[in-house]
A and B are shown apart, each in its own frame.
Chain A
Amino acid sequence: LFQTYNCLSDGEFQLIRQTLLIFFQDMHIRVSIFLKDKVQNSNGRFVLPISGPVPWGTEVPGLIRIFNHKGVEVKRAEFTTAGNYVTPQREGSFELYGDRVLKLGTNMYSVTRPVETHMSGSSKNLASQAKENVVPSPLAKEELNFLARLLGGLDIQKPAGGETGFRLNLFTTDEEEEHAAQTRPEELSYKVINIEATQEPGRRAELFRILGELEVAEPRPGSAEKGEDLLALMDGL
């Protein structure tokens, strides 16, 4: 990556960008996460904000400097526009690991999002956790591990005393669940039902026996059609 792109000039990068833009020209496909984030309009066009930090190396528009024929600055003037730009804080890092400053290239799906519903009566102070994870979400990992355990394939060692694992949450965020638990009226107490989802060896044997009974009859060697075989398989079950 470094080798190919490090030596390119501004103009060459712009050429790459223009080529990509030409590829996407006239495609106004609406993407739900873009629409939700207000990055895309409902007509398919992208929103170009006229405020925010300017790219590193660009100056905030507004200044005119006049020089005389000796190269000495003789006058300064300013002009204003509708835009509201600011200077960037610092340049993003070009090292292999570092603070990029920009959000470009990060994962849009890794931020937890509040659902845009209006809940009557409840407080509106439910801030969403804006954890921007660079690594894949640990929640996703746990989900996959749990699925693997259910299928009986994987033996997961639970770290001693650790609260790992997958917890089902019927609300959008953890805060909402806690809040709901706190505001729940006293009379509607609930019992926790333990669903034994982990595999015990005994139960596994049971499953294997059932699987054995599901033995499929060998397809007759003489049959020509694939369709016939499939039907035979289904009949065997």
Chain B
Amino acid sequence: QAAWCEFPSRVLLVLTSQRGVQMYESDGSTMVFWHALDVPEHPAAHSVFARGIAAAGGRFICVGTSSGAVLVFDIPPKGSNVTLSEILEQHRDPITDIAAEQGQAPDGAGDLVTADDSGTLCLWSTGEEFTLLGKIPGSGCTCSSVTLWNGIVAAGYGNGQIRLWEAGSGRIRAQVSAHARWIYALDLAPLTGKLLSGAEDSFVHVWQLSRNPDTDDIEIQHCHAECVTDAQVCGARFCDPAGDTFAVTGYDLSEVLCY
């Protein structure tokens, strides 16, 4: 996996693999930091990898692992003095995705969400010490990707569903039969609340999230669908914070399609 992590004073490119985590300067010139994953002496035929990257709290990079642990790295404003500040051990299944709050979190809603293979979601508040605010138990289906916006967790699942959860209470607020296959990518445009979902069924959908601050109604509407013929969509991202353009790529596709 590869992700940009933006901070007030710098941007880092973070890569995860079966060996561990690497962090590079935004122009790719130098490797700032490298964290190797511990491989157990007698691996029980379970693969070891790091998966799930998010920048949180303006100074941390969180990376998930196949053991279910989330590594929290403290990033200095300059230089390579990155330290492992904390290891969060609330998940018992491999981490699939991590997302930080991209809008304005309501009080008590937390600013980080972590997801795993069993569909369990954990909500955290970031800081010197991360605090677990809530846990949404999974229903057996893998939560493959997750985003957090204005206290709404948008989660994509292996069975093609998108579910919206209220971060503060942990209650489900919407359930969408969005795709016919595994959802690979979810992205959110923070300025408008547009949600992008891409799945193996070769479809990409654009949705509109909304939250009424007075009534606290959370809604999701379908805006648009695109089909990339004969392609399993593996990546989908908005190209700008308003969500006016987005890019899509798929398995074995050497192109990135821009819409």
Contact = CB atoms under 8 A, between A and B. Distances in A.
B159 interface: yes
A10 B117 contact: yes
Nearest to B231: A48
Given A10-B140, A65-B174, A50 B158 contact: no
A1 to B, nearest CB: 14
Contacts of B172: 67, 71
- Residues of B contacting A: mostly: loop
A25 B253 CA distance: 9
Contacts of A47: 230
Interface string A51-95: 000110111111111111101000101010111010000000000
Interface string B95-124: 010000000000000000000111000000
Interface residues of A, number: 39
B101 to A, nearest CB: 19
Contact of B230 (A45, A60, A77, A82): A45
Contacts, number: 122
Contacts of B142: 9-11, 14
A11 B94 contact: yes
B161 A79 contact: no
A235 interface: no
B47 A10 contact: no
A58 B160 contact: yes
B219 A83 contact: no
B85 interface: no
B158 A10 contact: yes
A35 to B, nearest CB: 14
A26 interface: yes
Contacts of A65: 174-176
A31 to B, nearest CB: 15
Contacts of A77: 221-222
Interface of A: 9-12, 14-15, 21, 24-26, 41, 45-48, 50, 54-55, 57-69, 71, 75, 77, 79, 81-83, 85
16 contacts: A11-B93, A11-B96, A21-B252, A45-B230, A48-B201, A48-B229, A50-B202, A57-B141, A58-B160, A63-B176, A65-B176, A66-B217, A66-B219, A69-B216, A77-B221, A83-B201
Given A61-B177, A61-B179, A83-B201, 11 more contacts: A11-B118, A41-B230, A55-B159, A57-B141, A61-B160, A62-B177, A69-B169, A81-B203, A81-B227, A83-B203, A85-B180
